[in-house]
């Protein structure tokens, strides 16, 4: 590795890690939006991944190759418990059932001593890095891109446009929706495990309402025309506060306003057309 | 001990019911899951804080004034955020997302402006003496909450059932287009609903601020989870269901905190929500609306 690249990575390591992790989170939102649903549990799923991976590493001393997949199990179980009943109902129910999940888990993390209480969990060894984060991001992008181009992708697009028509055409709407939610839980849980193993500390307040909405703003800014678009959205929103000093205070206000503006005036996101041209 | 717990539970539950009433009305009539609703709750509390602290108003004047101000805020935000979506008949998820983004911006802006600290209403805004009946203690704030809930719920039910406006509202909840064709000014009624709901939320914020004596920008967000649970258990858009479900949630939460573990209190609402979604998704009192392809 050339020296300048080494220096650059060392200086901006945290930002580079955050770009990869936020990219994964944006993808976890994308898969749900792609079937026309809205889940606000991504931050909660991420927190479950972070907490369970930290405990597996610190208490059971398992290798990271085991910890990373194992950390996706709790979010998947929660996604099953919430998704199975709500995905039979209209779209608002999944959003409503997941919106409070992060805050509930925050109270649990705060009150359960084994989870570190208000102090969180510290001293997590740095097991993740460039290779694991970007490797997973590239694999996820590749898989989602192939899925989007396949028959499954066309079925997802059909049910997003018109659920009833898609169902009439033989698309098993409920199964696709649940599959998407589970994939989303896996991605968010893995992102949580990765972030816990690069930052050495996790706390109860990192996975509540604000990050949940921020993850949605990533995906909406990019749009969901292809899996690359939400990742681009995540990168823009992660880099902006780094680039503009003084912006950091208003970061959340800005993220919220992006959602408002995109839904009201740019329903396809900021980057749809250009993307579509060179992806398809 | 049990009697005291039950009383505390009913009082807590009546604040949940009060909060959820406006929320469920908004959904029932306007067909919008409006997430800015929690912000009116915070806003009401801060209006009352300003009026009592800076201007020295008594709480009896500050409560209605803060409620009215929150109502006006609700009308303005509804107009800014939802008129366009209503005109193009956007799917309900769009309005949910818009209000979600807006409420994050509002909370974050308010926190940047006023700071995240917990504030308190000035001492002596309510007489501190509690009513003591044998072993039971009821504070004046709690009595005020109970009275206010009873008055507001009664008023709302009377409005919905006994007045021409209520009839128009029910028609609009049933079928907005048909209501419009029958000569009902739906835009004006939508504004009225926003005003009433915002005022209910604002009043709820003041009363909870009084009860717990803690006011802070994100207080409405913590309440929203309870609001969701109450309106789902009670059935979306069902005023009577919201009242019963609110009381039920308050009692169950208080008993859990008292007899099992106070750490579990926050999880109770969520567990109830998931349980109801599994077993009776249209609410305990709701009828199933089944739409098949």
Rounded Cα–Cα distance for residues A249 and B109 (Å): 9
pLDDT confidence of residue B32: 81
- Tens-place pLDDT, residues B232-252: 888 877 778 888 999 999 999
Rounded mean pLDDT of chain A? 86
Residues 226-265 of B with CB under 8 A from A: 228-229, 232, 261-265
Q: How far is B49 from chain A (nearest CA, A)?
A: 24
Rounded Cα–Cα distance for residues B106 and B108 (Å): 6
User: Would residue B51 count as lying in a domain?
Assistant: yes
Q: How far is B203 from chain A (nearest CA, A)?
A: 23
When divided into structural domains, chain B yields a total of: 1
Rg (CA), chain B: 19
- Domain span holding position B67: 15-220
Residue A73 has pLDDT above 80, yes or no: yes
The predicted model gives B75-104 an average pLDDT of 86
pLDDT confidence of residue A276: 43
* A275 pLDDT tier (thresholds 50, 70, 90): very low
Top-confidence residue, B275 or A243: B275
- Tens-place pLDDT, residues A122-157: 888 888 888 899 999 999 999 999 998 888 888 888
User: Would residue B112 count as lying in a domain?
Assistant: yes
Residue A189 has pLDDT above 50, yes or no: yes
Residue B22 has pLDDT above 80, yes or no: yes
**Cβ-Cβ contacts under 8 Å, B228 against chain A:** 96-97, 99-100
Residue B219 has pLDDT above 90, yes or no: no
The four Cα atoms B16, B17, B22, B23 give a dihedral, to 10 degrees, of: 60
Per-residue b or e along A87-99, where b marks 16 or more CB atoms closer than 10 Å to that residue's CB: beebbbbbbbbbb
**What are the extents of the domains in chain A?**
3-208
Largest CA distance in chain A: 59
- State the complex-level ipTM: 0.83
Three-class secondary structure assignment of chain B: CHHHHHHHHHHHHHHHHHHHHHHHHHHHHHCCCCCCHHHHHHHHHHHHHHHHHCCCCCHHHHHHHHHHHHHHHHHHHHHHHHHHHHHCCCCHHHHHHHHHHHHHHHHHHHHHHHCCCCECCCCCCCCCCCEEECCEEECHHHHHHHHHHHHHHHHHHHHHHHCHHHHHHHHHHHCHHHHHHCCCCHHHHHHHHHHHHHHHHHHHHHHHHHHHCCECCCHHHHHHHHHHHHHHHHCCCCHHHHHHHHHHHHHHHHHHHHHCCHHHHHHHHHHHHHHHHHHCCCCCCCCCCCCCC
> In Å, how far from its chain's centre is CA A158?
23
Write the residue in B105, B261, B281 that is nearest to A257 by C-beta: B105
Q: Chain A interface, mutation test: which of B31, B96, B97, B278, most A Cβ atoms within 10 Å?
A: B97
- Tens-place pLDDT, residues A15-64: 889 999 999 999 999 999 988 888 999 999 999 999 999 999 998 989 98
The predicted model gives B43-59 an average pLDDT of 87
**Cβ-Cβ contacts under 8 Å, A96 against chain B:** 33, 228, 232
Of B289, B279, B227, nearest to B39 by C-alpha is B227
User: Would residue B138 count as lying in a domain?
Assistant: yes
* A161 pLDDT tier (thresholds 50, 70, 90): confident
Residue A279 has pLDDT above 80, yes or no: no
- Tens-place pLDDT, residues B110-150: 988 888 888 887 766 666 666 777 777 777 777 888 888 88
pLDDT confidence of residue A248: 67
User: Would residue B33 count as lying in a domain?
Assistant: yes
Q: How far is A196 from chain B (nearest CA, A)?
A: 24
Q: How far is A177 from chain B (nearest CA, A)?
A: 15
**Does the beta carbon of B104 lie under 8 angstroms from any beta carbon of chain A?**
yes
List all residues 6 or more positions away from B155 whose beta carbon is below 8 Å from its beta carbon.
none
User: Would residue B276 count as lying in a domain?
Assistant: no
For residue B131, give the DSSP letter: E
* A78 pLDDT tier (thresholds 50, 70, 90): very high
3-state secondary structure of B120: coil
Q: Chain B interface, mutation test: which of A77, A80, A98, A100, most B Cβ atoms within 10 Å?
A: A100
User: Would residue B266 count as lying in a domain?
Assistant: no
User: Would residue B133 count as lying in a domain?
Assistant: yes
Rounded Cα–Cα distance for residues B236 and B282 (Å): 7
């Amino acid at each position: 590795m050339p020296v300048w690249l080494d220096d650059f990575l060392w200086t901006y390591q945290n930002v580079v890690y955050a770009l990869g992790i936020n990219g994964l989170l944006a993808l976890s939102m994308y898969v749900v939006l792609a079937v026309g649903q809205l889940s606000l549990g991504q931050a909660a799923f991420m927190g479950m991944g972070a907490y369970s991976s930290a405990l597996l590493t610190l208490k059971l001393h398992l290798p990271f190759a085991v910890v990373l997949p194992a950390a996706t199990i709790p979010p998947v179980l929660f996604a099953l418990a919430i998704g199975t009943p709500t995905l039979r109902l209209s779209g608002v129910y999944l959003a409503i059932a997941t919106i409070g999940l992060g805050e509930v888990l925050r109270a649990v993390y705060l009150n359960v001593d084994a989870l570190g209480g208000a102090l969180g969990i510290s001293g997590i060894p740095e097991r993740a890095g460039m290779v694991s984060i970007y490797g997973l991001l590239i694999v996820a992008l590749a898989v989602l891109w192939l899925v989007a181009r396949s028959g499954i992708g066309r079925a997802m697009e059909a049910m997003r446009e018109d659920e009833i028509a898609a169902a009439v055409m033989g698309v098993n709407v409920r199964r696709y929706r649940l599959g998407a939610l589970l994939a989303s839980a896996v991605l968010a849980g893995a992102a949580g495990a990765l972030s816990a193993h690069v930052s050495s500390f996790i706390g109860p307040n990192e996975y509540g309402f604000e990050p949940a909405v921020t993850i949605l703003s990533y995906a909406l800014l990019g749009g969901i025309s292809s899996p690359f678009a939400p990742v681009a959205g995540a990168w823009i929103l992660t880099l902006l506060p780094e680039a503009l000093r003084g912006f950091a205070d208003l970061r959340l206000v800005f993220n919220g306003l992006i959602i408002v503006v995109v839904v009201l005036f740019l329903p396809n996101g900021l980057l749809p057309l250009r993307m579509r041209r060179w992806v398809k | 001990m049990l009697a005291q717990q039950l009383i505390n539970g009913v009082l807590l539950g009546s604040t949940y019911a009060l909060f959820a009433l406006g929320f469920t009305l908004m959904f029932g009539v306007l067909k919008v899951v409006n997430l800015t609703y929690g912000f009116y709750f915070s806003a009401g509390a801060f209006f009352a804080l300003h009026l009592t602290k800076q201007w020295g108003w008594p709480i009896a004047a500050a409560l209605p004034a803060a409620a009215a101000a929150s109502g006006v805020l609700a009308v303005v935000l509804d107009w800014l955020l939802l008129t366009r979506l209503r005109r193009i008949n956007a799917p309900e998820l769009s309005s949910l997302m818009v209000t979600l983004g807006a409420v994050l911006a509002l909370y974050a802006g308010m926190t940047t402006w006023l700071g995240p600290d917990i504030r308190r209403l000035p001492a002596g805004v309510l007489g501190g003496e509690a009513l003591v009946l044998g072993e039971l203690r009821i504070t004046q704030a709690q009595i005020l909450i109970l009275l206010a809930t009873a008055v507001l719920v009664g008023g709302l039910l009377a409005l919905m059932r006994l007045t021409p406006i209520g009839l128009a509202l029910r028609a609009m909840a049933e079928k907005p287009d048909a209501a419009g064709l029958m000569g009902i000014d739906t835009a004006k009624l939508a504004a009225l609903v926003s005003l009433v709901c915002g005022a209910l939320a604002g009043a709820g914020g003041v009363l909870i601020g009084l009860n717990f004596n803690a006011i802070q920008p994100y207080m409405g967000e913590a309440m929203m989870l309870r609001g969701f649970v109450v309106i789902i258990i009670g059935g979306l858009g069902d005023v009577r269901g919201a009242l019963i479900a609110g009381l039920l949630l308050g009692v169950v939460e208080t008993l859990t905190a008292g007899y099992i573990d106070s750490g579990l209190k926050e999880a109770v609402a969520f567990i109830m929500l998931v349980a109801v979604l599994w077993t009776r998704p249209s609410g305990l009192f709701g009828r199933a609306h089944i739409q098949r392809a």
